[in-house]
Structure 1
Amino acid sequence: MDELSRADLWSLEEYAEARPAFRQRVMAHKKHRQLALGAHARLLFEDALTIKYQVQEMLRIEKIFEARGIHEELAAYNPLIPDGGNWKATFMIEYSDPAERAARLRELVGIEQSVWLQVAGCERIHPIANEDLERSSADKTASVHFLRFELDPDSLAAARAGAGLRAGIDHHAYTVEALAVAEPVRASLQADLA
């Protein structure tokens, strides 16, 4: 997939007008790009549309309208767009109670490396995590991680052909057994590989 450029974005003024309809479109799109992994973890698979929304929101919130600032946002977020041979996802650990979240994040060090996807008939794919900066320490992990799942040639061919997809987490403090990915999500991810 192509990276976003400044030409793909609305000005702040244009975005203010387009935002309600665009936001509704993106929220509907994200429904087929999310995968719950148990009760407290979730993958949100990114693509050009989700990243365009994120960039537009950051520009809006920060009131960025100068070329340099826009290019900095694009440089920060473009790496999250899949390139046709991988899937990229935001991995979120979700505990609503702050004390419970703090305790669990101490127990879940390394969980981002324990997430996996598997195209039917192929090997499990473990992610490359947090390429932009380290989000875990020896004492605790972050509640948000950025993951890249690189597909080997067999997985890529099978996924492009429509093979089923499973996911899970193999962490000693949080395990999710092989979970079948729902068809709308699988189809959305298949489109990333075109």
Structure 2
Amino acid sequence: MTIENRKIESSDLLEYSAYAKERRSIRKEVVQMKKNRRVELGPHSTFYFENFFTMKAQIQEMLYIEKGGDEQLKDELEAYNPLVPQGSELVATFMFEIDNPNTRKKVLSSLGNVENKLFISINGTKLYATPEEDVDRTDNSGKTSSVHFIHFKFSDKQVEEFKNLSSRIEIGTDHDNYLHSTVLSKEVKEALAKDFK
């Protein structure tokens, strides 16, 4: 990704018929890219780090499936452009993936405000995520959503430390009911470092 690719425009997208022809190869390419942009955390959750290309693919796929035309395009651009990293941040979709509905409800009910407890640690210094503010992700009963959209905003110094492959980078949560962290692999660090200027 280059610094120019910080906002998806309609001109970046393929026409419906062109996408239909290329869909299989595009999806294969995106799956390959996402391999080193995915980080599991604990038994139930995963970070999916987004970028220009993952969001472009998401928009393209939504338009293909729903066939909503220009009106849908406007809505999709509005929804997904905020998830394109802007050069000094990492952006992720953080998901709790629990198949059993009873277990899911129990776990999510114990994790209110987890979106404010997600962090990246760079050589021991924690940087907390900023959740998207479009809707509250924890309801009045204290139950959190299974999907969170978050931004990790970095200073210039933190960007340089992240890009240094000898830096120890961890990602985790310090929510009392979900205390988990994991060290990022070299491959994940290299992939995510490309999101910075």
Relative to the length of structure 2, the TM-score reads 0.92
Give the secondary-structure state (helix, strand or coil) at the position aligned to 1:131.
coil
1:125 partner amino acid: L
2:131 partner amino acid: A
Contact 2:113–2:137 (CA<8 Å) still a contact in 1?
A: no
Equivalent residue for 2:164? 161
**Superposition pairs of residues 84-103 of structure 1, within 5 angstroms:** 84-103=87-106
The reply to whether residue 137 of structure 1 matches residue 139 of structure 2 is: yes
Equivalent residue for 2:32? 28
Unaligned runs of 5+ in 2: none
Equivalent residue for 1:115? 118
Give the secondary-structure state (helix, strand or coil) at the position aligned to 2:69.
coil
Give the secondary-structure state (helix, strand or coil) at the position aligned to 1:193.
coil
Equivalent residue for 2:127? 125
How far apart, in 2, do the equivalents of 1:69 and 1:96 lie? 30
The reply to whether residue 2 of structure 1 matches residue 6 of structure 2 is: yes
The reply to whether residue 79 of structure 1 matches residue 82 of structure 2 is: yes
2:84 partner amino acid: I
Q: 1:121-144: per-residue Cα shift (whole Å, max 9, x none)?
A: 5x2111111222212113211000
Q: What's the CA shift for 1:44?
A: 0.3
Give the % identical residues. 32
How far apart, in 2, do the equivalents of 1:183 and 1:160 lie? 10
Relative to the length of structure 1, the TM-score reads 0.93
Q: What's the CA shift for 1:158?
A: 1.2
Q: 1:97-136: per-residue Cα shift (whole Å, max 9, x none)?
A: 0110011111111111111101225x21111112222121
Unaligned runs of 5+ in 1: none
2:7 partner amino acid: E
Contact 1:11–1:65 (CA<8 Å) still a contact in 2?
A: no
Give the secondary-structure state (helix, strand or coil) at the position aligned to 1:133.
coil
Q: CA RMSD in A?
A: 1.3
Q: 1:67-90: per-residue Cα shift (whole Å, max 9, x none)?
A: x33122111101100011000000
33-42 or 132-141, which deviates more? 132-141
Contact 2:47–2:95 (CA<8 Å) still a contact in 1?
A: yes
Count the aligned residue pairs. 191
Equivalent residue for 2:109? 106
